[in-house]
Structures are given as structure tokens and as C-alpha cells.
Amino acid sequence: MSNSSFLRAVERALEFVSGLCIAIASVAVAVLVLTFGWLVFGRYVLNATPTWVEQLALLLICYIAFLGAAAGVREDTHIGVTLFRDMVPVTGRKVMIILVDIVLCGFGAIMLTAGITLMRFGWATDLPMLNIPESFRTLAITSCGGLVMLFAGLRAIQRCLSFADWSPEPEFKDV
């Protein structure tokens, strides 16, 4: 397998993982809407408020936010300040973009290691009303950190390997 076919295979795999993040976050949004519909129905029609909805909502919001953030890093749609980067020549711009990827990779590594620590700490504690370990909430942080580290780190490596060939100009995608 040549380098270019290997890189294409890695790209396809990362694209699949990013799409899976978006799919899981989308299902979580749908479940969130349905459970709040059940909350309103239970409270005002049945006169019996389901108390577990709030805890489930907090859990789902973690997954929606963190998996969406990881996919945003993969798609290079995360928030960035480009003022200084745009003021320098192309070579400097490329170096700055690679440095941003390296910083994102480091941030992802910190999230991953801190998330693992939080998961270990919270495994013995249950989430109220849901009766599942607290670690399921921090799994969102841990998985996001690992994915951000993977996405940004591999993109930095790819950009370093093809430094002379890629353009630092943003690609505007059709929405």
C-alpha cells in the first residue's frame, strides 16, 4: 500500500468517524426533543412529572456539544481568529495553521487524560434518577478529547508532509 493510498484510507476512516459523531449527536438531539415532549405531556396532561428527564437532558447535552465539537475540529469549522494569520505571507500562514493544529492536538490530549481521570473518579457514583455511573457523562469529554487529538494531530502531520502543496486559503463549502 503506497503512502497516498494509505492517507486516502485514513481520510475515509476519519470522515466516517466524524460522520458517526454527527449522527450520534443528531440522535441525541432527537431524543432530547422527545423526552422534553414527554416531560410536558406528563406534567400538564398526566399530572405526574417524569423526574428523570432533567438528568437525561444534561447527559445528552454533553454528548451533543462534545461530539459536535470534535466533528467541528475534523471539518476545520471550529472558531478561530484569523486576523494575525491573514496578515503574514503564505509560508507564515501555513506555519501558523500547523501550530493551531498542534495546539488543538495538545488540548485534545489534555481533555483525554483529564476525562480518563474523571471517569475513574465517577465510576462509583450514580447519576441521580438514571441509575447509571457518573462516568457516562464524562465519557463525552474523554471521547471528544481523543477525537480532537486524533483529528488535529493527523491533520498537522498531513499538512507538514505536504507543506509545499497545500493552500492555506479556506475552502468554502456549499451548504
What is the C-alpha R_g of the chain? 20
Mean pLDDT of the chain: 89
Span 149-160, pLDDT tens digits: 999 999 999 889
Over residues 58-76, mean pLDDT: 94
Q: Read off the C-alpha cell for 169.
A: 486559503
Helix, strand, coil: what percent of the chain each, to 5?
Answer: 75, 0, 25
Label residue 174 by pLDDT band (50, 70, 90). low
Q: Read off the C-alpha cell for 78.
A: 471550529
Q: What was the pLDDT predicted at 25?
A: 96
Give dist(CA 96, CA 85) in Å, integer: 7
Specify the range with the lowest mean pLDDT, choosing from 45-49, 85-89, 122-126. 85-89
